[in-house]
Structure 1
Amino acid sequence: MNKLSIIDKYILKRYLTTFSVMLLLFIPIGIIVDVSEKINKILENKVPFDKVASYYVDFVIYFANLLFPIFLFLSIIWFTSKLANNTEIVAILSSGISFGRFLRPYIIGATIVSVFALLMGFFLVPKASEGFKNFRYMYLIGGGRNEMRETSDVYRQISDSEFIYVSNFNPEVKTGYNFVIEKFDGERLVNKITATSIQWDPKDSTYVLLNFNKRTVGELDDKIETFPSKKMKFNFDLDDLTPVVYIAETLNLTELNKFIDKERKRGSSDINRYLVVKYRKYSIPISAFILTIIAVAVSSMKRRGGMGINLAIGIALAFSYVFLDKIFGTVAEKSTFSPLIAVWTPNVIFGIIAFITLRNAKR
């Protein structure tokens, strides 16, 4: 038992140390590459140093989470290949330890990493995503904050019986144009309000409607009201009706669940995008176990080409996972394809690969 405990600690230490070093190596390389691409824009827009520094803190957290599967996979292949080349794995297995028992410290390491990734995805990554995305849209992408939102043909359900529409929305001045709000009783239209524009007035928490027109449907005839300008109160926040396109990435799990429920009631066309973000918070940590098993199975055998062959296989598999995850996520966001199936499909495919490679490695 003591011998097994020493082996567990040895492998677990190598697992966590190599993964941590891989992440730390990424930080300066990633920042240097990003600075070289964006320095002209940063200088052109005269971005304050504190905002740039804050951006790169968010940049590191954002991309560490995004590329987490690649870092994990390559780090395991790297140190396991070294064990195999030094015939340490042969010695361990020759002592009577089964391959499944040899795999145990790797699973413990995957558990530690996946819990860390899960907590980061719930609490730390959303804040970093907000800072990262805001900086890009404010200083690096052409039109600033207006490009953060889908501002044309905004249609929302704001309650069980009320629907609103604006042909265009300007978030800077909180003004919607060609405004329409309809109230229904079942399938029967109760009243309809139209205005050429609607603007939020923060002084008294009201909306100013220009060229106001209200039609109330009666049993025998309709009642029409018109005003050049009219102040009204509504049970919605105009700014909230057109959230930034990446809003789901900036919310913690509790906020995200509430936001999805609200957007589902409103009939949001972006609901699949929000669900993809939610399901990825769970699928990425689970991938730690799947990728760990594949990496150990692939790299535990001593090959004629040495570590280079194992790394080549590892890089191909790691990027294949990220590629599939991106493809299925985009398909779910842009179509009616189930977000749950889309997010978990890469894990299912690579879970099958893990089973096959592990069975072959045991032989």
Structure 2
Amino acid sequence: MKKLDLYMSKNFIKAFLLSLIAFINVFVLSQLFKIFRYVADGRMSSSDGFIYVLNMIPDILLNVTPLAVLLGSLMMINKMAANLEIISLKTSGISFRRIIMFPVIISFFISLVVFFINGNIYPVSEKRMRELRGNTISKVLPKEKRNGFLRDAEKNNIYMMGYINVEKGTADDIELIELNKDFTEIEKVIIAEKGEYNRETNTWELKNVVVNDLKNRKSETHSLYVSEEYKEPPENFVTLSIDPRLLTTKELKKEIKDLRITGGDIRNGMVELGNRYSFPFASFIISFLGLSLGSRYVRGNSAMSIVLCMFLGYGYYIMQASFESLGKNGLMNPFVSGWLPNIIFLGIGMYFVHKAEY
């Protein structure tokens, strides 16, 4: 590491940490009155209040780290510009991209830390905070479901239920599909008006049934149809519906996989997963803005640079929330909606970096 890189890295880390501590203090202080009220009302003990504050830190870190990177990079580079260090380095033949290389690299590693916190620590702390507030997390399976879907990979069967009541073990508008061993061709399609799961024999008893044997090209009707092939209990058609923010990334992936199998709604889970992979890198993306916009020192214009950077910083959050709503409403792919703000702001940042070269 050259002296320039060491100098830039040390100053950037110092400015970033000062900004981060300042933001954390502001957010913690803004929540203390609420915690004091919880303690005064008897909803928390003093020790629980302290634990609650500790569990707030991961959430605060996720929200303020991009702003801390933005403000830290602005403070560092603006100070260097005021001391004519940026002009001196450029005059000696060092490009602006080379000057900011190590702060940008550090911002990327900060993003990786945020990525880890977002996927592994934040869900645990959020769950703990809800428990301390007295918010119970439901762990009861839904009693009924519409458009139930299940794939039995062992027997190459697919179940589709228009409506299923788990408690009663009944279903309406049933369609059962049997496929060949390679899962490439449909061999049989069974359509039933109603069905009831017999818990003694562990089989479905179907009523008013049409059996379409596509393999042998024949069709049969039955008032009652029972087959050992269809043994999946009603409980397998529903899964727990848990707030995706309370799941680690590994748990969230498994939840989405289970919901896909049972035909559940995976939009919220996919949006959360998309944000888990995109939002942490806002710190890296936004560093280009702070470093480039603060590089030109104009007497009396530094306040305008700060206002512009803060405007762009909060503009990122607004844009991110807007695209997230599009993903939740099914108007955009969740991963695309998560990454578009990053791509847009990266383009803006690179433009300002290019302008800062001259």
Both proteins in one fold, TM over 0.5: yes
Q: 2:171 maps to what in 1?
A: 181
Compared CA separation, residues 149 and 315, structure 1 to 2 (3 A): farther
Moved more, 24-33 or 97-106: 24-33
TM-score between both structures, scaled by the size of structure 1: 0.76
Of 242, 254, 257, the residue aligned with 2:253 is 257
State the AA in 2 paired with 1:60. I
* CA positional deviation for 1:63: 2.1
Moved more, 348-357 or 283-292: 283-292
Distance 1:87 1:281 in 2: 40
Distance 1:135 1:332 in 2: 31
Residues 181 and 194, structure 1, Cα contact 8 Å, conserved in 2: yes
Q: 1:173 maps to what in 2?
A: none
Distance 2:18 2:164 in 1: 51
Of 284, 305, 311, the residue aligned with 2:306 is 311
Matched, 1:25 2:49: no
* CA positional deviation for 1:234: 2.9
Compared CA separation, residues 308 and 119, structure 1 to 2 (3 A): same
Residues 81 and 310, structure 1, Cα contact 8 Å, conserved in 2: no
Q: 1:362 maps to what in 2?
A: 357
Q: 1:329 maps to what in 2?
A: 324
Q: Deviation per CA, 1:214-253, whole angstroms, max 9, x where unpaired?
A: 653455553499xxxxxx9937369x72422x2x223333
SS of residue matched to 1:181: strand
Q: 1:131 maps to what in 2?
A: 128
State the AA in 2 paired with 1:54. I
Distance 2:169 2:27 in 1: 46
Compared CA separation, residues 189 and 220, structure 1 to 2 (3 A): closer
State the AA in 2 paired with 1:104. M
Of 33, 37, 40, the residue aligned with 1:36 is 33
Distance 1:70 1:237 in 2: 45
Of 268, 277, 283, the residue aligned with 2:264 is 268
Residues 162 and 181, structure 1, Cα contact 8 Å, conserved in 2: no
Q: Cα RMSD (Å) of the superposition?
A: 3.4
Matched, 1:15 2:17: no
Q: Deviation per CA, 1:158-211, whole angstroms, max 9, x where unpaired?
A: 4431548578xxxxxxxx77774355323533574569xxxxxxxxxx99xxxx
Of 329, 338, 344, the residue aligned with 2:339 is 344
- Alignment coverage as a number of residue pairs: 321
State the AA in 1 paired with 2:284. F
Moved more, 352-361 or 319-328: 352-361
Residues 239 and 259, structure 2, Cα contact 8 Å, conserved in 1: no
* CA positional deviation for 1:102: 0.6
Compared CA separation, residues 40 and 286, structure 1 to 2 (3 A): closer
Q: 2:241 maps to what in 1?
A: 243
Unaligned ranges ≥5, structure 2: 152-157, 178-188, 210-219
Structure whose CA Rg is larger: 2
Moved more, 52-61 or 180-189: 180-189
Distance 1:56 1:150 in 2: 32
Residues 24 and 60, structure 2, Cα contact 8 Å, conserved in 1: no
Of 299, 312, 319, the residue aligned with 2:294 is 299
1:193-204 to 2 correspondences below 5 Å: 193=195
Distance 1:105 1:51 in 2: 41
* CA positional deviation for 1:72: 1.5
State the AA in 2 paired with 1:263. L
Compared CA separation, residues 194 and 35, structure 1 to 2 (3 A): farther
State the AA in 1 paired with 2:306. L
Q: 1:234 maps to what in 2?
A: 233
Compared CA separation, residues 301 and 220, structure 1 to 2 (3 A): closer
SS of residue matched to 2:320: helix
Identity %, equivalent residues? 17
SS of residue matched to 2:235: coil
Distance 1:347 1:98 in 2: 25
TM-score between both structures, scaled by the size of structure 2: 0.77
Q: 2:149 maps to what in 1?
A: 157
Residues 62 and 132, structure 1, Cα contact 8 Å, conserved in 2: no
Q: 1:210 maps to what in 2?
A: none
Q: 1:98 maps to what in 2?
A: 95
State the AA in 1 paired with 2:250. T
SS of residue matched to 1:108: helix
Distance 1:164 1:298 in 2: 57
Distance 1:304 1:91 in 2: 18
Residues 69 and 322, structure 1, Cα contact 8 Å, conserved in 2: no
Distance 1:158 1:105 in 2: 51
Q: 2:70 maps to what in 1?
A: 73
Runs (4 or more) in structure 1 with deviation over 4 Å come to: 133-136, 148-154, 164-167, 176-180, 218-221
Residues 69 and 284, structure 1, Cα contact 8 Å, conserved in 2: no
Compared CA separation, residues 331 and 149, structure 1 to 2 (3 A): farther
Q: 1:85 maps to what in 2?
A: 82
Compared CA separation, residues 135 and 7, structure 1 to 2 (3 A): same
* CA positional deviation for 1:82: 1.6
